[in-house]
Amino acid sequence: MHRGILVVLVFNVVVSTVMVMSSHHWFSVWVGLEINTLSILPVLCGQFFPRSVESTVKYFLVQSLSAAMVLNVVIVQAWLYSSWCVVQPLNVFTSLVMVLAIGLKLGLFPCHYWFPDVVQGVGFIQGLMLSTWQKLAPFVVLVYVVGSVNVVFLGILGVLSVLVGGWGGLNQSQVRKVLAFSSIAHVGWIVSVLGYSVGVGCVMFFVYIILNTGVFMLGDKFSLKSLASLSRLVFINPVGGFCFLLGVLSLGGLPPLFGFVMKFLALGCLVSNGVYVVGGFLVMGSLLSLFFYLRIAFNSSLVLFPQHVLSLFVWRVSGSQGGFSLYSAVLSVFVSVNLLGLSSLSVFLAFLN
C-alpha cells in the first residue's frame, strides 16, 4: 500500500473516532462508526495475503451487523420518543439490543467468537489497532447508554467475558490468539465496573490501552508468532525477552507492575458498591488468565517451549537490528511504563477526583 494512502486511511480512522466522541446526535454517531469501519478495512488487508483478506472479510461482516443493529435501535428511539439525542434514555428492549451491538464491536461475551480469529489472521500492528483504537468509539457509545442499562446485566456479561477469556487462552500456542483472549478478559473487567463508575471504567480502559500497546509492539518488533519463537527470544535478545516478560506479567496484574492499577481500581469500586459476588468471580477468572500468563513467562525465561525444531537459534530475526527510530522510541516509552508499577497509582486516582 502506498504511504500516502495509508496516511489518509489512518487520518480517517482518527477523525471518525473523534466524531463519535464529540457527537450528540445518534445519526452522526452511526456515521462515525461506519467511517471508522470502512477506513480500517484496507489497513487490515494491506499486505493482501489470503489469511489477512479472510480476517478482513470476517471483520467487515461482524461490524456491518453491529452497525445495522445500532441504526435500528436509534430508529426505534426516534419513532418512540421523536428524539435523536444520545442523552435520551433507552427502554429495556433497545438497551439490550444496543449492548449486544456494542458487544460485537468490543468482542464482549457472547459476541466474542470473531475476535481471536481475526486478530490471528492480521499482523501485530493491525491486531493492536483492533484491540485498542477500534474499541475506543464503541466504548464511548457504551458510556453514552450505560445509564439506561441494567448494571446487573453488564456485570454478568463482564464476568462471563473474563471467564471465557481466561478459559480460551489456556490451550493456545499462538501469541496473537493469547493476546486476543487476554483482550476479551480485560474488556470484561472494564464493562463490569462501568455500570458503577464511568470514571473508573475510563481510567481502566486507558491503562488497558497502555498495557496492550507495549506487548503488541514487542511482538511485532521480534516477530513472536508462537510460544516456540518466544522461548528463543531470551537467547537472541535478552533485553527484549525481559521486557516482554514484564509486559505479560503486567497484563496478569501482578502487584509490583503497572497492570495491578487496573485490578486495584476495579476491585475497589466493586467493594465500595457492595458487589462482592461479581468481584469474586472476576478474581476467579483473572486467575485463569494468570495461569497462561505465567506459562508464557515460564517458557520464555526458564525453559524451552516443547518443540520439534533441532536448531535452537534463529540467526535472522526481523526487527532485531540496532539503531534509533521513532518506532523504538515509542516502544521504549510504553514498555518503561510497566516498570512504574504502584508509583503511578496516585496519578490515576487523581483523575477520579
Tens of pLDDT, residues 270-299: 888 888 888 888 888 888 888 888 877 776
- Considering only CA atoms, which of 224, 141, 146, 135 is closest in space to residue 183? 135
Q: Which of 114, 139, 164 is the last residue of a domain?
A: 139
The answer to whether residue 28 is domain-embedded is: yes
The angle at the Cα of 163, spanning 105 to 286, to the nearest 5 degrees, equals: 105
- Look up residue 345 and give its amino acid: L
- Considering only CA atoms, which of 124, 85, 351 is closest in space to residue 226? 124
Give the mean pLDDT of 119-129.
Answer: 88
The answer to whether the beta carbons of residues 86 and 29 sit under 8 Å apart is yes
- φ, ψ for residue 197, nearest 5 deg: -155, 115
Query: At residue 80, does pLDDT exceed 70?
Result: yes
Whole-number percent of the chain with pLDDT over 90: 10
Q: What is the spatial distance between Cα 277 and Cα 291, in angstroms, rounded to a whole number?
A: 22
Query: At residue 196, does pLDDT exceed 60?
Result: yes
The answer to whether residue 144 is domain-embedded is: no
Q: Are residues 19 and 111 in the same domain?
A: yes
Is residue 347 very low, low, confident or very high in pLDDT (cuts 50, 70, 90)? low
Grid cell listed for 138: 464503541
Query: At residue 349, does pLDDT exceed 70?
Result: no
Q: What is the spatial distance between Cα 165 and Cα 76, in angstroms, rounded to a whole number?
A: 33
Q: Are residues 125 and 168 in the same domain?
A: no
Give the mean pLDDT of 44-61.
Answer: 85
Cβ-count burial of 22 within 10 angstroms (0-12 exposed, 13-18 middle, 19+ buried)? Answer: exposed
Query: At residue 341, does pLDDT exceed 70?
Result: no
Q: Count other C-beta atoms under 10 Å from residue 114's C-beta.
A: 17
- Considering only CA atoms, which of 260, 278, 119 is closest in space to residue 195? 278
Q: Count other C-beta atoms under 10 Å from residue 2's C-beta.
A: 8
Residues in the chain: 353
Q: How many structural domains does the chain have?
A: 2
Query: At residue 269, does pLDDT exceed 60?
Result: yes
Give the mean pLDDT of 250-256.
Answer: 80
- Look at 339 and 303; give whichever has higher pLDDT: 339
pLDDT digits (tens, 9 = 90+) for 81-118: 888 888 888 888 888 989 999 999 998 888 888 899 89
Q: Are residues 215 and 342 in the same domain?
A: yes
Give the mean pLDDT of 330-348.
Answer: 66
pLDDT digits (tens, 9 = 90+) for 138-157: 999 999 888 888 888 888 99
Q: Which of 110, 139, 168 is the last residue of a domain?
A: 139
pLDDT digits (tens, 9 = 90+) for 310-326: 444 444 444 444 455 66
Position 325 scores a pLDDT of 65
Q: Are residues 171 and 97 in the same domain?
A: no
Give the mean pLDDT of 176-188.
Answer: 90
Position 312 scores a pLDDT of 47
Q: Are residues 110 and 178 in the same domain?
A: no
Q: What is the spatial distance between Cα 101 and Cα 111, in angstroms, rounded to a whole number?
A: 9
Position 311 scores a pLDDT of 47
Position 112 scores a pLDDT of 86
Q: State the chain's mean pLDDT as an integer.
A: 82
Q: Are residues 127 and 174 in the same domain?
A: no
Q: What is the spatial distance between Cα 190 and Cα 116, in angstroms, rounded to a whole number?
A: 19
Q: Are residues 163 and 263 in the same domain?
A: yes
Q: Which domain holds residue 33?
A: 1-139
The answer to whether the beta carbons of residues 222 and 237 sit under 8 Å apart is yes
Give the mean pLDDT of 56-61.
Answer: 90
Q: Which of 139, 164, 194 is the last residue of a domain?
A: 139
Position 51 scores a pLDDT of 83
